[in-house]
A and B are shown apart, each in its own frame.
Chain A
């Protein structure tokens, strides 16, 4: 068991040579490629990250600009809408006033026309009455009626006409 702590210098030297040679060979045939691949991938990730960051910043700037434009457009739209409503109200008032004026004018014309028609009709009726009166008078004369009876006939005829 005492051999456990007794160094074997041959093994020691062989271990050192073996390990250092392994370090050299692995560095040449393996680690350089693996570390290179790792660094390349990390660089790629860093570049992608930087690009993504730039794209994000650009997107945020664009979003900010679009928001500003949208706000401007909204304000403009609201302003124009208010103007349109105001214009609409004005036009509505004007149209209503014109319509009222026209309706009043038409009403007045209609009344005047009715009045004229009425007067004309009354004139016609009077003429008809006169002709009827003449006719009645002639009949009375023909039948030699008294003046009273002729008057009564005329009155009766007038009442009949009014009743109609």
Chain B
């Protein structure tokens, strides 16, 4: 399908959503009741899903973005990020404390938290969850992808290799207190720690594969949840109905009786919002912003997304190894026009790995590489790229013909169009760019991973934790430009072991400037996250993660006369 756009980008977003989804409610009370009247109980909201969830509703096994979308409403986690992307909001964890050396965290759980079947949520559930993920069978037999989320716990490696049966780094103090020891002190240890439990009393005694295939992970009637909602009915490939969890610990929440999630194509979802057949619509295409804005019964909001699109250079390719050429290309692409035109202004030109929304963003780079074709030409000229044979295209400094290819995948219509604009722009500064026919995303990533491309387009979705080493480490699998830089590695290492966030920010500033100077990427743009909802739904909180997946969904309510 043409609309695989979101799927493609979303395979990456798994990472992001893991954190967002895992987040859930907290004591509400803020941000509500302003001119909206007193909350009333009852009613349901309807949400759309652009493809069917795969039906694996278990937070430690799911891989599909819409499984996750559903789990968002049924899963509670230890903590959540606040509106400034700091991990400060207590949920299942009442409080937590890091030891001075940063290696041990003591977590105290709420005593009133219960599973949807009425059993208490205790430290046993968490230890059971972590040990399940760390076990060898989890990866090899159950083929599940989340080992990285417990990797830093002491003793995880031994379990993963099958040499140990339990995590030596986790210590149960009592039913509501536990200690977790990490292999090393890092600033993002808590961000990386798996925060959502599965019920031990349900899964105990099963092998990991049995857990994954058990009814308690797949059948609406059998799934035991920790969040504000539990499963009422799931019609495979069509819809999911969630109902209020009576044992949910937050007093008087949720207000809604049910949440309905329905599968429909993106093409018609906007019509469904207009006709009030759905209450929320996410992943809104910038082109639809104005149309939705005109609907009287709908609120539409946007925020910068934690994601970006980029143009990458294979820096080891002799054609692209010259930093000057890469800088000239950065100046030569009119990214502003992309944002204004393709994104209708609902986005931002980006110059670094950290989007503006992140606390680690470097202010100084805001206007790096403005569109300046003259400067681009000048840089090329100075670096020895001249049009020797008069064909309108520059030759490389050795006087040899220079043709650079640009690969891009299908799926994301905005990105596909940006490829064409890049080709046109670079032609204007005298570069002979061969814009290739787009390939499907799998073939494209295959070619990029195997270094069979020269320049390419792709995107990343990020998590609030700014640590870039997974994507930028010299030896990282995902370092597609194959840009190896000692200084960069050092800075990233230094940042992560620095526990003071202000100092961390300074280190990241140095790092982003280094990347900007070396230009292994041209950062293109971040597209805004745009979401809209029917005004009959009150109590909606919208921030950097949008409204739909915000942990404050428990505050949503609908006036009686509109239910």
Decide whether A and B are members of one complex. no
Chain A residues packing against B (C-beta within 8 Å): none
Chain B residues packing against A (C-beta within 8 Å): none
